[in-house]
Amino acid sequence: MVDEAEQNRVIPGKLFCLHPDSRVQVLQWDDGPAVQSVVAEHDGYGRLTAPVIHRRDLRYDRDRATWLVVDRLTGSSGASHSHRLEWTLVFAPHCRLEPIEQGWSLVTPRGRFRLDGPHLQAGGQDMPIRASVEQGLVAPRYGVTFEASLLRWQWDGPLPVEGRFSISRQVHAPR
């Protein structure tokens, strides 16, 4: 989210209906034998008073069983508006998050994963980011909800900014 706005507005009174604010453009797609990647961006925050473009680079390294997510958010050139950025990761009800050095351990019935980050840079400088684990609801189907963990990251400041995190399978328990 940017400035407490979703990339597509919810249309009041219309369940499961989103306003088509966001146009997505795939910039690059590679399906290599070891690494798969896609780079795409959207302009869903273009309607804000200080417009923002969100570009995401998503890579999967098969050999390392690691996902890397890099988000780049840019504003109008020459503008020095401050923005509130928020990333929210929603986990299945049976997953448990544990804080570890430089990230989180995600414990699931299928194993343990390391969520490294987030690492945030603005103007070439590392920036602190607020992190919190909250409880929320997930709905696996209509009319059914379960409590689940939400990992939320927040940052306030001027753009451009780059945030990155990775998720990889842990072979050994964290130290």
Determine what percent of the chain is predicted with pLDDT higher than 90.
Answer: 83
How many whole angstroms separate alpha carbon 97 and alpha carbon 110? 14
Please give the single-letter amino acid code of residue 37.
Answer: S
> What integer best gives the mean pLDDT of the chain?
92
Q: What is the pLDDT of residue 81?
A: 86
Q: What is the DSSP letter of 58?
A: E
Q: Is the pLDDT of residue 147 over 60?
A: yes
CB-based burial label for 21 (10 Å; 0-12, 13-18, 19+):
middle
How many whole angstroms separate alpha carbon 108 and alpha carbon 114? 11
How many whole angstroms separate alpha carbon 61 and alpha carbon 72? 20
pLDDT tens digits along 40-97: 999 999 999 999 999 999 999 999 999 999 999 999 766 678 999 999 999 999 999 9
pLDDT tens digits along 82-95: 999 999 999 999 99
Q: What is the pLDDT of residue 172?
A: 62
Q: Picking from 11-20, 73-82, 133-142, which range would have the lowest pLDDT averaged per residue?
A: 73-82
Query: What confidence tier does 36 reach under pLDDT thresholds 50, 70, 90?
Result: very high
Q: How many CB atoms lie within 10 A of CB 142?
A: 7
Pairing status of strand 130-141 against strand 144-158? antiparallel
Please report where in the chains the tokens 């919190």 appear, as a residue.
132
Determine what percent of the chain is predicted with pLDDT higher than 70.
Answer: 96
Q: What is the DSSP letter of 14?
A: -
Degrees, nearest 5: CA angle 115-116-119: 135
